[in-house]
Amino acid sequence: MANETPDRDATPTGPNERVTPGEASSHGGGFSYPGGPYPGSYGTAQYPQPNAPWPGPVTPPPGRRRSARMAAFGLVGALLAGGAGGALGYSLAESRDGGASNGVLGSPLPPIDGTAPMSPVEAVAERVLPGVVQLRVDSGGSSGEGSAMVLSADGLLLTNNHVVEAAANRGRVTAVFQNGDTAQAAIIGRDPSSDLAVIRAQGVSRLTPIELGNSDSVRVGQQVVAFGAPLGLGGTVTTGIISALNRPVSVGGDQGASEATVLNALQTDAPINPGNSGGPLVDMQGRVIGINSAIATTGQQGGSIGVGFSIPINQARRVAEELERTGKASRAVLGVSVGDDPQVSGARIQSVAPGSAAEAAGIRAGDLVIGFDGQRILAGDGLQAAVRSRAPGQVVEVQLADRSVSVTLGAAS
């Protein structure tokens, strides 16, 4: 699985082919194309060579003058008929120059129907697009692009940490709004462990905030719409469905971070590409249920293959509130190290930290975690992602292979 980075077709054209004297060649069933190997020939018929002298008059042999004259008259008649036909064709063509074509090209365009009802996706796009922002990030000799969403009328924006992290040290972030206006944005706070960041556009007002939904109510198969600036194409709208819930996804760590970010993500087949990061994933009421953050690809230069991942908005909301208020966010911990057991599904506890939430709840090394607060745990990364999606101090039920325990989650120091 490849991780999405913040930044990270041409229409085939060809020459019009013409057949000119002396350049014909046989092709297939006798069609002629430029570049022939033997000028002047077409099958068994011979064509005059370019610039060759025209032969002089031919005297018919004795006894054949009458037939020659008849042939000549026939030739004159054919020329006259051809000339009349050409004149008629030219006249008809000329008469149509200023008139309407008999085909569809001459038909008038249908009138614009301002009363036609909007489709559901159109209605969602009209509602959400004003609250979607394109971000341009510059840091030294490198640059990148991403997306964000408006949280407040005075310029508070939510995006991914990996979109703006390059500008954290004397870089620059520029916000581009749907009406084309731009503003410099300052980083308010970043949280690499959740891959979220809050920034503020400077000197703006009367922006249109997005509406938050409830990601706990999302169902597999429901229709969703993704917004953002894939490959720098701002204001892009794509549609799809929710493909899976609670999908553990490792998206790599912040520069200098000690561990990778593992998301408990919503999976969607709505096309998401580099540049969509930080943009909203919304339901059919236009309410944000996730933040587009990562994609799976089949190669180093791959784009969307219909496997995209979004941070659930309920998790993002808590982190964003803390980032706005304090500039940093807290993170829940269970206090265990885990591994995978090839014989069974679940997260095998390898060790328990002294004084941790897990120790207080009676979790021991060797226990197999198969569920976390109602979520099925299939492997170690699933448990890690589930813990990180919760808040410190939250009480959760942990299902072990032989029992269940109640755990009050701790906070990372």
128: domain range?
120-201
Domain boundary among 297, 326, 355: 326
Same domain, 290 and 355: no
pTM of the model: 0.73
Could you tell me the two tokens for 380?
């170690």
Instruction: Classify residue 67: in a domain, yes or no.
Output: no
- Tens of pLDDT, residue by residue over 117-146, are 999 999 999 999 999 999 999 988 788 999
125 CB neighbour count, 10 Å cutoff: 19
Instruction: Classify residue 94: in a domain, yes or no.
Output: no
Check which CATH number belongs to the domain holding 363 and give it. 2.30.42.10
Domain boundary among 326, 352, 374: 326
Same domain, 300 and 407: no
Residues near 306 by Cβ (< 8 Å), separated by ≥ 6?
Answer: 240, 269, 271
Same domain, 288 and 223: yes
Please state the domain count of the chain.
3
Phi, psi at residue 120, to the nearest 5°? -55, -40
Asked if the model's pLDDT at residue 93 lies above 60, the reply is no
- Tens of pLDDT, residue by residue over 341-354, are 889 999 999 999 99
Q: How far apart are CA 351 and CA 396, in angstroms?
A: 20
Same domain, 374 and 307: no
pLDDT at 183: 98
Same domain, 227 and 250: yes
Q: How far apart are CA 39 and CA 46, in angstroms?
A: 10
- Tens of pLDDT, residue by residue over 184-226, are 999 999 999 999 999 999 999 999 999 999 999 999 999 999 9
Q: How far apart are CA 39 and CA 22, in angstroms?
A: 4
- CA angle, residues 149, 150, 151, in degrees to nearest 5: 115
Q: How far apart are CA 335 and CA 339, in angstroms?
A: 14
Could you tell me the two tokens for 5?
């980075």
Which residues form the catalytic set? 162, 195, 277
Same domain, 322 and 336: no
Asked if the model's pLDDT at residue 23 lies above 70, the reply is no
Same domain, 217 and 250: yes
Same domain, 219 and 296: yes
Q: How far apart are CA 288 and CA 13, in angstroms?
A: 42
Domain boundary among 270, 302, 326: 326
Same domain, 171 and 264: no
Average pLDDT over residues 74-86: 48
Q: How far apart are CA 192 and CA 358, in angstroms?
A: 24
Positive or negative, the CA dihedral 236, 237, 243, 245 is positive
Instruction: Classify residue 307: in a domain, yes or no.
Output: yes
